[in-house]
Structures are given as structure tokens and as C-alpha cells.
Structure 1
């Protein structure tokens, strides 16, 4: 990574986002954690600073254009530049048949998962263009490539992230700005466990049955670790990925192979 560089990671307070923050810091970037959970952001800050890199916390609602604009303005005032942007903030949305999903649930899921990355990119890109350098990584999902019954808002948002990534990469590629998407499979942790619990309630299965069914879908027969995802993000921000752009790369233990 570039020396004295700055990375913004949305949703960096926990889970995959926290691991991404630490990975980018290990590679030499100062990290700005943009999230709404001030308590858990403090833990991320401590972990990043253990690497010797600077870490700042900014309360950010990616669904709010005003909040996003203020965050980017603050980062530029404080650091002077933004070389790396990781759009990780996201929500699971409802687990229910389409006809039982409310308009509010639909709009909230797309506002965070799809409008959020768009708004972050819209604010950051003018500064990346001015510097003729930038690396943007959008965290999508393998659900952006295949159906996931009873999760229509989430699936739609992640399919949108992949389309947004490809199109934006084509727009800015000649300006030395790479845009890629990482598509995790089922990442072990509290969030996926809550999803399994809701799916179990919806289908009448036990939690253990739902989890085992998901694990069997992967070639390796297991879930993904969040560090697997963070490692790929770090690579996509590195010099070794200079000519990789417009890609949607799976980290799914072989659950999805296209």
C-alpha cells in the first residue's frame, strides 16, 4: 500500500469490517472507522493502534447523504487524502416471503446496502480522480450471484452492488482507480447465527439443521472466517492487484464458483 495512505472502512466496528480495518493497518494504512456503533468502534481502534497505525472513529450513517458528506469532508481535513475506500456497512434485512416484506424493510435494506456504497463513492471519487489514484472495494455477497429464498431485499441489494461495481470500474479505470467487489459466502459469527435462527423459525427446522445444510453447500464443508475476507480486501488494495478491476471475487469455501 502507498506510504502515509488513508483508508475509510464503513461498518468497521465489528465482524468482517473490524478484521478489514486491522488488515489494512498491518499493510501500512491509517484507518478511519465509519460506523454507528461507538462502543464497538472503540475496540476496533484499540486493535488497529496495536499495529502502530493511526485510527480515527467517525459516526456515520451511510444511508444519509448528509452524514456521508460530513464524514468525507472531515477525513480530508484531518488526513488530506483518501486512497482506499472499503464499503462494508450492511444489514441482513428481513427473513420472510416477498409478500410479507414491508416497504419500509425493503427500503431500509437497499438504503444501507446499495445506496450507502453509491453515496460513499460519490463523495470520495472527486478526490481520487484529482490524485489519479484510488482503490475501492465493495463488500457484496455470493447472494448477489444466486437466489436466496425469503431474502429478496438482501439479494436484490447485493446483486445491485455487483452491477454498480462493474459499471463504476469501467467509468474510472483510465484514472488509475480500481473498483472491485468481494463476495463472501456464509461468514461465521453472530450475524450469520441470527440469520440461521430466523431461517429455522421460518422453515420449522432446528438451528443445527439450518447450519449443517449451509455447510454442506460448500466444497470445503465449512463456513468462511472473517479474516479470509479481510485478506482478500488487503490484496485488492495492494500493488499486486494493480490490473485487477471490475471483478466480483468469491470467498465462499467453494459454495459458489462463478
Structure 2
């Protein structure tokens, strides 16, 4: 039987790249997203649900639906996230802080919480959480995002300890700067805040890696497929960066 893979924020960006990669590997794909337009634009053979990962009732309903339809779950990709505000800490509004943590950290917690009983009953499975290199090094003017992404690393390592005795693995993937609309928004906000051009900020991010470039969604997706496979059967509790090798997390722009 092919693997059953659930991907949150799976209708666009890194999540969609993951869905495409798992689909290409022969897995059955189920995507959850809040963007109904993006969901409608995905391939017809992917199963899909509209779900807000920050809403426990919606997450609980999603996992009941998945289990009823599939009878279980092999891989959870807890991928949903938002960029959050770009501002010095003293200018961050509490509501913006809470919203960023609700999606990035609490969303991963809620999905893991409701996946765990399913995976433990099976005695097997994989949880993959999308963090960020901001969760390894921090990043100025991105305090809510960095705090949330540090938090999911602790969550992932703890899940590996809790679920390992039940045959379930958990790993955390840390993308670097990923080409795409979300990062474009970050670049534009940082450029405006620093009185710079978008290209100058882009180059600052790229020059902070030894490979001098951004990563693409497919790079993250390929790592997810590997970590979910039997080739990684004893890889658990790890935090793996896919970032072109960050050498300076705070390049002086």
C-alpha cells in the first residue's frame, strides 16, 4: 500500500512542492490549507480540506476525516506557517506576535497532538515539522517568527522522544531563504524599513550562505521525501537545514 501523507499549507509554496514530490514518489496525498482558491487549483486526485491549523476544532475534524477516509496516516508534514511582522521588537504589536505563534508554533503542536494517537495505534509513522534557519540562529526584526521556529525545534525533539518507543520518527526541516511569494514580502518589508532596494536585501540573504543562493521549494520537498522513506528509518530527533549552508545569519546589508 502506498504511503498516506498529510501536508498542512499544502496548496502553495513549500507545501505544494512537498505534495508534488510525494505524489511523484507514489504516495497518496492529502493537503490542508486555509486558501480555498489555492486548494481548488491543485490536482484533482489529491484529497483536500480547508483547515486552519490554529483552530483546534478544525484540526481535530481534519484528523477524524483523514482517519475515516484512509484508516490511518503514515506521514504528517506540519508545514503551515506565516512570516509574521518585520519590525524591531519594540514596534511589534502583541496581536501580531500572538498570531504568528498561533500559526507557526501552536499549529504544529495541534497537528502533532491529533496525529499522535493515530500513529501510536499503528506503531509506525513519521512526523516532519517545518522550522527555519531563523529557528537555529534567530534573525533581527523577526522576533515572533524566530521565537516560533525555535519553539517547533523543541517540539520536534520532544516528539521524537515521546513517539520513538511506538515506532514513530520525528524530524525538523529548517529551510533557509526560499524563493517565492512569502519571501518576496519579507524582502520588500525589510527594504522599506532599511531604505534599501529589494535586490540589495536579496543579495544580503544570499551572501549569508556559502553557496550564495536561495533555495527552492523542491529542495525542501526532496528532503521531506527522503526523511519519510525507509532509507531514513533510523533518522529521528534531527534538525536538518536545507539552506545552502548558512555561514552568516545576520549579514550586514
Alignment match, 2:217: 226
- For the 8 Å contact 2:208–2:248, the answer to whether it is kept is no
Alignment match, 2:25: 27
- For the 8 Å contact 1:6–1:84, the answer to whether it is kept is yes
Residues 52-63 of structure 1 aligned to structure 2 (within 5 Å):
55-63=46-54
**What SS does the corresponding residue of 1:141 show, helix, strand or coil?**
coil
**What SS does the corresponding residue of 2:85 show, helix, strand or coil?**
coil
Measured on the aligned residues, the alpha-carbon RMSD in Å equals 1.3
> How far apart, CA to CA, are the structure 2 residues paired with 1:21 and 1:147?
28
For the pair 1:147 / 2:138, whether they are aligned, the reply is yes
> How far apart, CA to CA, are the structure 2 residues paired with 1:175 and 1:246?
14
State which drifts further: 61-70 or 166-175: 166-175
Shift, 1:45, TM fit: 2.6
Q: Find the partner of 2:121 among 111, 120, 130.
A: 130
**What SS does the corresponding residue of 1:44 show, helix, strand or coil?**
coil
For the pair 1:111 / 2:109, whether they are aligned, the reply is no
TM normalised by structure 1 equals 0.94
For the pair 1:175 / 2:166, whether they are aligned, the reply is yes
Residues 11-50 of structure 1 aligned to structure 2 (within 5 Å):
11-46=9-44, 49=45
Alignment match, 2:246: 255
> How far apart, CA to CA, are the structure 1 residues paired with 2:128 and 2:118?
16
For the pair 1:64 / 2:55, whether they are aligned, the reply is yes
Alignment match, 1:190: 181
**What SS does the corresponding residue of 2:245 show, helix, strand or coil?**
coil
TM normalised by structure 2 equals 0.96
For the pair 1:100 / 2:91, whether they are aligned, the reply is yes
- For the 8 Å contact 2:209–2:248, the answer to whether it is kept is no
> How far apart, CA to CA, are the structure 1 residues paired with 2:244 and 2:199?
19
> How far apart, CA to CA, are the structure 1 residues paired with 2:234 and 2:15?
24
> How far apart, CA to CA, are the structure 1 residues paired with 2:50 and 2:90?
34
> How far apart, CA to CA, are the structure 2 residues paired with 1:202 and 1:107?
22
Alignment match, 1:52: none
The CA deviation string for residues 75-117 of structure 1, in whole angstroms up to 9 with x for no partner, is 1111111111001110000001111111110100000000001
The CA deviation string for residues 236-258 of structure 1, in whole angstroms up to 9 with x for no partner, is 00000000000010000112599
Shift, 1:71, TM fit: 0.5
- For the 8 Å contact 1:12–1:44, the answer to whether it is kept is no
**What SS does the corresponding residue of 1:145 show, helix, strand or coil?**
helix
Shift, 1:29, TM fit: 1.6
**What SS does the corresponding residue of 2:86 show, helix, strand or coil?**
coil
> How far apart, CA to CA, are the structure 1 residues paired with 2:131 and 2:243?
12
> How far apart, CA to CA, are the structure 2 residues paired with 1:5 and 1:257?
38
- For the 8 Å contact 1:250–1:257, the answer to whether it is kept is no
Residues 207-246 of structure 1 aligned to structure 2 (within 5 Å):
207-246=198-237
Shift, 1:205, TM fit: 1.0
